[in-house]
A and B are shown apart, each in its own frame.
Chain A
Amino acid sequence: MRIVVCVKAVPKPEEVGMNPETRTLDRSKARSEINPPDMHALEMAFALRDRVGGTVTLLSMGPPMFVPYLRLGLAMGADDAYLLSDRAFGAADTLATSYTLAKGLERIAATAGPWDVVLCGEESSDGATAQVPPGIAEWLDIPQATYVSEIAPGDGQTAPAIEVRREIKGGEERLRVPLPAVLSVAAGANVPRFFDPDRRAIAESAEVVVWDAAAVAADPALIGAAGSATTVAAVESAGRVERRHEMLSGPPEETARTLAGVIRAALSA
């Protein structure tokens, strides 16, 4: 099984501030991490490879500062890594991003051979749209399954396929998904592994293949800001709800009586 995992680096949300004068996001002080939901996609990929054999390839789109995060993925056990990096990719919404990643997947198949399945985290912790995995599947005109919690090797009766469990509202379903396909992996589906210390040193100097827009034959009209259908028309600081900020202290029983009174008053209001 040849598996590709789409990953990205995101700023740690608790470290992103706001510039009070320009009222824009200040990410300068924020450290980055691999998008936490992507860690579950990585784990699912490694576990699948452990079971059925094959390779795990990493694919990302972003600035050169993403390279160390791809190396972290290599240290966790990935076989190779590709970064789509070009100033022209910048300011992309999910329409342009999913197109660009689909072009990268096309190029990986052309240079390294066809892949069977693409795994993504269910969403990014910064954008949180969950739109990129279905978008990639549509650009490539292949099947998708989102919020996959478990993957089983397919029975291979007719066409190559895998069976997956998918989380739905208030339950789950089992799907048979023909390959190749794009899956988004439900957050919490597994416990991501730590990087392998033995691989860490090797990964430090491992090659990350960097491709620009021309390398993946991306249409300039479909990438970056030009290829985006949505625009940010305005950014403002959100009005916060006014709260009382009343701190209760004292013996637990006294606090309990006060809280019970507060709850009863609120319920009968």
Chain B
Amino acid sequence: MTSATPPTVVVRGPAYPPHEAAGIWVWVEQHDGVVEDVSRELLGKGRDLASRLAQPLVAVVLGAPQHAGVGAADAAALGADEVLVVGHAALAHYATDPYTDALDQLVRRRKPAILLLGATPDGRDLAGRLAVRLYTGLTADCTDLTIGPSGLLESHVVGFGGGIAAIITCQRHAPQMATVRPGVFPQPAATVRSNASERIRPASVDLDSAAERVRVLERQVHAEAGLTRAPVVVIGGAGTRGDFHLLEALAETLDGEVGATRVAVDQGWIGRDRQIGQTGVVVRPKVAIACGVSGASQLTVGISGADTVIAINSDAGAPLFDAADYGVVGDLFRVLPPLLAELRTDQPKAVTAERRPA
């Protein structure tokens, strides 16, 4: 099974010097014509950065010919000055090699200053590979993006326990790359722009000469968790000991969603798409109810945007109480049943009517 010629390190060198670079690019992630929320959020933040730098905001949409166009129209409506669209059968579903090849070719041709990607599983797969292909700097999971006095992108990241913030820059390489978790930035409103369609430009890339490497045999997507838009998020941690049924009932009663800590996800109690925190989803609900969650900073970063945080934990010393508005020291299996009963018996109609997701 061992290959005859072991792979050796390939050094490609920089793509282009930073002083030749201009433009803020956002990779618009779409699956079957549906644009990811995080890409919309990045177009909103990208607009700010473009204004600060007086440079154009460019959206890049890759996909099957029939799908890429839909994403492109979305991107144009969300404020991109230019939308580069590559419709190609090899890009029908995300795969590392054709997506890296396509973006690499476009970037080398047009020399953007900044390239932003959503920190989804596919976005992280792509960004990590592309940054080395382009021999440039990449900062993961930024909590904010700003422009410094010299025009450099400042990528803000939160370190150990959420207590430490660092600003990362990439001065000598281009493009300056960053990934951002879903939910970190608000979504911009779509606007009707008279010349939106004129901003969409088909671009061509050569994907035929590359050898096929990884082949997608099957792809299954289940219903997605609507965590970033939910008004209430009920979060379970180690204290649930894997039993989420009371949390699910509470979320259902409040038209909310269930989330989980990394520990709970790592234990296999709940799907990764429900992980809240620095390495999961950042949520900004009206109410976050954390049940049996100790409160590692990794988690608290993910709920720092919540209007109200309620913590229920049997350990009075749990750090999450320091990050909560209301705390209850007690076993969640004793605290939640009367709360559920209370909410179910006397639920003002206005609350359910207003908060039911569209």
Contacts and interface: CB of A to CB of B under 8 A. Distances in A.
Among B7, B223, B296, B343: residue with most chain A CB under 10 A: B7
Q: Is the interface of B mostly helix, strand, loop or mixed?
A: mixed
Contacts of B328: 247-249, 255, 259
B196 to A, nearest CB: 27
B357 interface: no
Given A144-B129, A236-B165, A248 B266 contact: no
Interface hub of B121, B262, B296 (most chain A Cβ within 10 A)? B121
Contact of B125 (A134, A180, A243, A252): A134
A62 B132 CA distance: 21
B166 A234 contact: yes
Interface residues of A, number: 105
A147 interface: yes
Contact of B10 (A139, A178, A234): A139
21 contacts: A1-B1, A102-B9, A105-B7, A130-B128, A131-B128, A146-B121, A163-B217, A167-B272, A170-B224, A173-B216, A174-B217, A178-B213, A229-B136, A230-B138, A230-B170, A231-B171, A235-B164, A236-B164, A240-B323, A241-B323, A267-B354
A135 B329 CA distance: 45
B82 interface: no
A249 B267 CA distance: 31
Given A94-B138, A245-B321, A188 B265 contact: yes
A252 B124 contact: no
B76 interface: no
Nearest to A172: B220
A116 interface: yes
A247 B265 CA distance: 28
Interface in B210-257: 213-225, 231-232, 254
Interface in A224-240: 228-240
Interface stretch (A12-20, A75-83, A193-201, A205-213): A12-20
Nearest to A252: B338
A131 B351 contact: no
Interface stretch (A66-74, A84-92, A106-114): A106-114
B335 A255 contact: yes
Contacts of B296: 13-14
B217 A269 contact: no
Nearest to A163: B217
B304 to A, nearest CB: 5
A267 B232 contact: yes
Contact of A133 (B122, B128, B297): B128
Interface string B113-147: 00000001110110111011101111111000000
In the A-B complex, list the 7 residue pairs whose CB atoms are closest, starting with the nearest: A229-B137, A134-B128, A109-B6, A256-B338, A171-B221, A129-B140, A230-B137
